[in-house]
Each structure stands twice: as structure tokens, then as C-alpha cells.
Structure 1
């Protein structure tokens, strides 16, 4: 969301330390409904079972960041918009702001019934990394909110992925210093998922497309020990302005990311200069890109002041929306250029990148990451407890910060996969998941019980 990072960076928040008492996460009960297959990462691609999965979606935040509203917590709003998503033919939505104290069963299940996956931003303007004061904003209260968001959404099989941040690093070179804290958050989220015995939902970062540090940032998020590396990398690309694959520079970006080693997709695209016919969909689904990219999310669904949206919503609780010209164009592009069959020329193995060195455009001078704050360590075993939601005190100046650097490998999960009682579903793990999948008798019993309940 184009205004999200700016809003979070300027938030002036006075708060106390976390007041929620961490409690163990309850084991998820068997579902009576049929569910979508979960999405996993393997090689440089996403998969549902043995089928290559491409992100063919749209960014979804009615009202924008200023509204501070969770569209997935309101069944009226989400049911209205799911009908429109089905017309578009999307298989994924991204939601920037969610309330981790709310219940999302109705909307998440309705999305699953429509065949739609969800990518969740783990941050919101109250609980996020401040790009200019990252050390202060990376604290116990912040991670409690992030982990509570994981607790709330990881139980849904159609939760495809989590973003650990959005455009925190931008074209202001000083902001590159916040990369260590975003990467630490990614590490912590992945460790929390592992320690809590959850299924391995991919975690990665949504980057701004900044030419002077694009490759350095991508390399940084995929360098270091396995516990420090992201499961995928995404970036917001507005360089295709009704042009073509070459004039937009997308051909050069494909070359730059060839051999990167983990999945890449566009977390936002859709330049509005010169009009929009969404030729990006054809390119993303073509053999020119599928060997490196795994699709993308068009920005955006709801028409706001920035004029990127493709539906006009008369009022927040309106029962119907007005489809703009862009709606028909996007739906036509999605229909004309379906996901390709086969594996799309993916790379079957994963590999890390070399960490970038400090220069005029990249100010990070260490490969070490900040250690998880002492107060947040308990969450790894006790759980995050009740989330603060969207009315909490905020976290950016809450105290309880990191007290030093972590040793490489310290973010490795300490839980054995076979001991999980909280897994939201058993999935086939690819090379990104180093430990072998062990199906326990408990999981078998729960699965059998769930089948009998259908």
C-alpha cells in the first residue's frame, strides 16, 4: 500500500509494554468443510501439491491505510467483495491491515470456498518498524502483535503467506539501515511458526522497487544462515506503464533475478500512466517470466484518492460496488492469459545469495542481525496471547528493545515437527523446509476424524 509505510513511519505513539499474558495456542480442531490445498515453497516456485502455483491476484484494503479497518473481520464487506473477486478470476488477495483480536472464520472460509488464498501483512500502522528509528520500534510489544497475527491467520488453509514488512526500505538511503530489523522480524516470524508447531506458511518481505538498491536488498533478504533467509521475495513494481516487456525494463529485471534461488512475485503492480490494459498479466504468465517470477498482485481493488482502484465503493457498508472501466479490462486480461500448465521452467533447488557490502546506496555494514528482544523470547514457547488489535497503544516507542546482535543460526526452530499439536494442516515441504516431514499418529487421527465429519 503506497501510503502504509509513510503512515507507520510518522506515527507518534506513546505506549507501555505488552500487557497481554501469553498463553499456549489451542490445537486447531478438524474442519468439517472441504478446504483448498495449502501453498508451499519449493525451489524458486510455489506449489499446491505437485501443481505449480502462480499468484494471480489483487491488493485489497477498502478505505486505505487511513481507515485502519480490517475488511476480513466484517462479513458483510467481504461477502460483497468476494463476489467481485470471482468475476475477476483472481486466486489471491493481499490484505494490508488486519485486527489480530477479531475472528475471521466467516470471511476466510468464504474466500476458501471461492478458491481464493490470502497474503497477510503482519504489520499495521500502530505496530510496525519505523524506517528512521528501527532499533526503537523493533521491540517486545511489536513482536507480540506480529506473532498474534500469525496465531490468528495460520489456522486457515488458504493463508498463503505473511509479509514481514512493506516498503520499509525506500529511496532514502538512510532507510537501508532498517533492513537489519525487517530481516530480524522475518527470522523471528519463521522461528515462531516452527516453535509453535504450525505448518510452514512462507514468510517474506514486500519491497519498494528502488533501482539503486533493488538487487542489494533482494540479496540481503536471501543471504546468511537458513534461519535468517526469507522464504520468498516480493516487490512493488510500477515500471510497466502500458508499454511492453522490453520498454518497461522487465526483461532486464528477469535477467537480474535469474538464479536468485527462492520464489519471487510482484506484491503490487499496475502503473496508471498512459492508461491501463494490464499487459502485465500476459507477461507474467509467459515463458519469458515464469522461470523466475511466480505471478503478482494488481494494485488495487478499491478506488481511493490515488485513482488506482477498479471499483468505486459508495460507502464503507454499501451492499454493492460500482465497477469501473479498469475492472472489465483486468477481468479480460485474467481470462485471456490463464496460468500456464507444467512447471513453467522453475529451478528445482534453492540457494542463498551473497550478502551485499556497504556502499553509497546500501549502508548496512554487518551481516549480523539484532537479537530478538528478551521479553519476546517467552512467546516462542508460551504463545503470543491475545493480540492488541487495531485499538492498542502501539509499539514504536514501547521499550523492550533488542540488547545486541544475534549469533547466526540462533533463529533456528527448536521444536520437532513430529511433536506438533497445533498444525493447521500437513503439507508437503520442499527444499526450503530442511527438516523431513514426519506425519504423527495424532495428525492421522485428526485427519481421519475430519474426514468422517464431512
Structure 2
């Protein structure tokens, strides 16, 4: 009896193991237990943490700069060293420009969540991005696969606050304005991908350069057209406050220009150094002069690089120690002295679109139509993007598989449901249920054979 019982137990265990087998290599594993923060959403012209108005009060974070092309959230030693410094500053948000979408980010994202810090992720990197002066070929399926893989990696963390669909793609070269159609198409595709995959609605928007001649046209462009084409927010970089004041810096006019814009706005970079740094921007951003229009900002930047904007000196990216510069404590003190306001800060309760800008000498876009998503990228909407290429892939700028025409308005509307099931953490994967017919048949065979053996 013992041998027969053992055979039965072994056989059942084998098929139970099959039923509980891990997903195939092409499907993401379910996420491990994660630290959690209240999810931040975009509503009206502001961000909200539940029913509480949320203001971005943080720093731009890319130790080593863009030339290093390294992901600080994939290096647990680096991120944990710097999170200790972030706690001293009292910030609630960081922005990371370069992400390795093939790496695991559990440790760093959990540690940030434990510290009460949200993360804004740039979906592009130096290898996978839109070419501002030749955008058509660079908007292709290989590029979008990398962008979508970044979404897959970070959507599962509650402290992922937002995604940037581009950073300073449009600049002071007037011909770069022609790339706006492709940046907006990427924004549309990212929002549709999030919806079609059944993910929570993490806001997607653009980070604009500090360029006065096209900033307003670009802002209008990113918020015009059908709902599927519009951004969830607009952010721009601003270095005009140089130890001045609200009026001298021109910020009063920027508030006026963006009043009733219809979407949340924040500064994705600020912090002039040409005339010293008093961080007076923080007092202005947290004042009633601005909170009805702006939702805070990110100081550029944490780590000292050749451009001298940093407030913390790090001998090398993986150095175990950080030297806090005088600006470090100054920034912390100004943040502490200017807490986030209570109440709604004068925020608008509803969003709305604006009119698209017209073509002129500073804005060369003459069509409201956007490029259609590349045909070979459509399958990602249903099946998922798969594994990300990381920071060592072949790149995408001339990879082929480009858009072949313009899309009709509304083409980015969320349709259907993902082919994979969702687990509680938000990640999608094809579970063992796909093997159910085989498992049932196998169990019937085993039980039948076992019954014969036990006779």
C-alpha cells in the first residue's frame, strides 16, 4: 500500500506542479509584494492623492548625467545611498531620465515608497527616442516596443506618479517643431496602451524646453483635438527665476498665460544658477499666486555634474558617500519653510481642451492629424510589449516599421481587453489556466491508472 500511495501522491504532485507552473519566459512574472503609497491621479487641472491636492515637490535625479546612460533605480547601492539624502531634503517626488526597462526595480521603488517618494519616469532613453530633426523614421515599432516595455515595468508600482512621452524634443530650432506630431502620437499611443492593457491610469505628458518662442504653441498643441490625443498634463522647464521675484522673473505672465489651460501643469525643471540660488521659486509655487494653475515643480538637479546645477557632490556614481553642498541645506530649509498648501489651492474641477495653434514663423505644424501607429506595433496593444531592450539594445532611430500615413481623430481610443489576465499588482501574465484542458485530461488518466494499480 505504501508504494501505491506514494505513486499516487507523486503523480498528483507532478500534475499539481504543472498546474502551478511559472508562466512561459515571454510573460512577466507576477510582482513580489511591494511597498505602497496612495495612488496619485490627475483630475481637473491638478493632481490628487485621494481627496488631497498633490503638489510636486522634488528634484531631477540622474547621477552621472546623460553621458553615462545608466539607470540609478536599477542599482540598489546607488539608489539607497541617495534615498537617505532625499529624506533629509523632505521631497516627495523624483524624476529619472534614463531607465533600463530590462532590469528589476523592486528594491529601489519599494525603498522610495517607504520614504514617501513618488517617481516620474521618462519613457525614452538615448537609444530609443524621437529624432527631433528627422522624426518620421524614428517613430517606429521598435521604438514603441521599448516605450511600452518601460510602462510595463513601472506601472505596477503605486509610487509611479507619471510618464513623460518626451523631453525637450522640440527646442529653439524651428524645424524641430515638426517633430511635435510624433511626440503627440507617442503620447496617444502610451495612453492607449495603458488603457488597452487594463492598467491603472498613470498620467502621461510631455516635458518642454525653456523656449519662449514656441512654449505656448506646444502647450496648446498637446491639449487640442480629441480626448484620446490630448495629454494628461503638461510640464515645462523654466530657468528665468534668478534670485529675483514673481514679477521680475516673468512668472506672473506665465500664470496668466496658462490660466484656464484645462490640464495640470508643473515645472519639470527649475533652478537658475546665473545669479546665485535662493530657491525663491518654491515660495512662489506654493503660494496662492500660482496654485490655481501650477502643481509644483522639480528642482534641477540633485547630483553635481559639469553644468554645476547639482546640490550634492558624488565622487563617482557608485561612491558610497555624498558630499552635501551649501545649496543642499538651503533647498531643504526653503522646502520646509514653504509646505504644500491645504485645501484645493484654487484648482479647477474639470479638464477641457484648447484650440490647436496655427502655423507661423515659430510653429511649422500645419495639420491637426497625427501619424498612425505603425502597423507592426498594433499587436502590442493586445498581446503586450514583451521584454524591454534595456540600455544595450540596437537602438530604434532607423529600425524600420514606421507609420505609413495619418490617423483619423479618435484612433487612440481604448478598445478591447488584454489577452492576458491581470494579477493584483497590476502586471499582466498568461497564467496556468491556459494549460487547463491538458491538466484535466492528465488527471483523469492518472486517476484511472492509479485506480487500476490499487485494485
Q: Which TM-score band applies after superposition, normalised by the shorter structure?
A: 0.7 to 0.9
For 2:398 and 2:273, the matched residues in 1 are separated by: 37
Match of 1:121 in 2: 122
Return 5+ residue gaps in structure 1 as ranges: 1-20, 427-454
Give the conservation status (yes or no) of the 8 Å contact 2:382–2:417.
no
Does 1:275 pair with 2:276? yes
Cα distance between partner residues in 1 of 2:384 and 2:26? 5
Residue of structure 2 equivalent to 1:197: 198
Check the 8 A contact 1:148/1:386 in 2, yes or no. yes
Contact 1:121–1:164 (8 Å) recurs in 2? yes
- The CA deviation at 1:425 is 6.1
Residue aligning to 2:71: 70
1:214 shift after superposition: 1.1
Q: CA deviation at 1:195?
A: 0.4
Query: How many angstroms apart in 1 are the aligned matches of 2:391 and 2:327?
Result: 31
Structure 2 match to 1:401: 402
CA contact (8 A) 2:96 2:121 kept: yes
CA distance in 2, matches of 1:28, 1:371: 33
TM-superposed deviation, 1:213: 1.1
8 Å CA contact 1:99–1:389 kept in 2: the answer is yes
Query: Paired residue for 1:105?
Result: 106
For the residues of structure 1 that align with 2:27 and 2:351, how far apart are their CA atoms? 33
State the TM-score, normalized to the length of structure 1. 0.87
| Deviation by residue 1:44-97 (Cα, 9 ceiling, x = unmatched) | 000010000000000000000000100000000000000000000000000000
Secondary structure of 1:205's match? strand
Q: Is the 8 A contact 1:138 1:401 kept in 2?
A: yes
Aligned pairs for 1:8-407 within 5 A? 23=26, 28=31, 31=33, 34-407=35-408
For 1:230 and 1:269, the matched residues in 2 are separated by 21
What CA deviation, in whole Å up to 9, does each residue of 1:11-64 have, x standing for no partner? xxxxxxxxxx995555656x3x55100110000000010000000000000000
How far, CA to CA, are the matches of 1:134 and 1:249 in structure 2? Answer: 33
- Quickly say closer, same or farther: Cα 1:126–1:91, change in 2 above 3 A: same
What is the CA distance between 1:315 and its match in structure 2?
A: 1.5
1:144 and 1:211 map into 2 onto residues whose CA distance is: 33
Residue 421 of structure 1 deviates from its aligned partner by 2.1
Distance 1:423 1:411 in 2: 26
In structure 2, C-alpha distance between the alignment counterparts of 1:423 and 1:270, rounded to whole Å: 40
Q: In the alignment, is the contact (CA less than 8 A) between 2:155 and 2:426 conserved in 1?
A: no
Deviation at 1:316, TM superposition (A): 1.7
Query: SS at the partner of 2:186?
Result: helix
Partner residue, 1:3:
none
Shift of 1:415: 3.4
Q: Is the 8 A contact 2:120 2:161 kept in 1?
A: yes
Partner secondary structure for residue 371 of structure 2: coil
Shift of 1:209: 2.2
2:6 paired residue number: none
Paired residues, what number?
Answer: 403
Alpha-carbon distance in structure 1 between the residues aligned to 2:320 and 2:361: 52
What secondary structure does 1:274 align onto? coil
Deviation at 1:424, TM superposition (A): 4.2
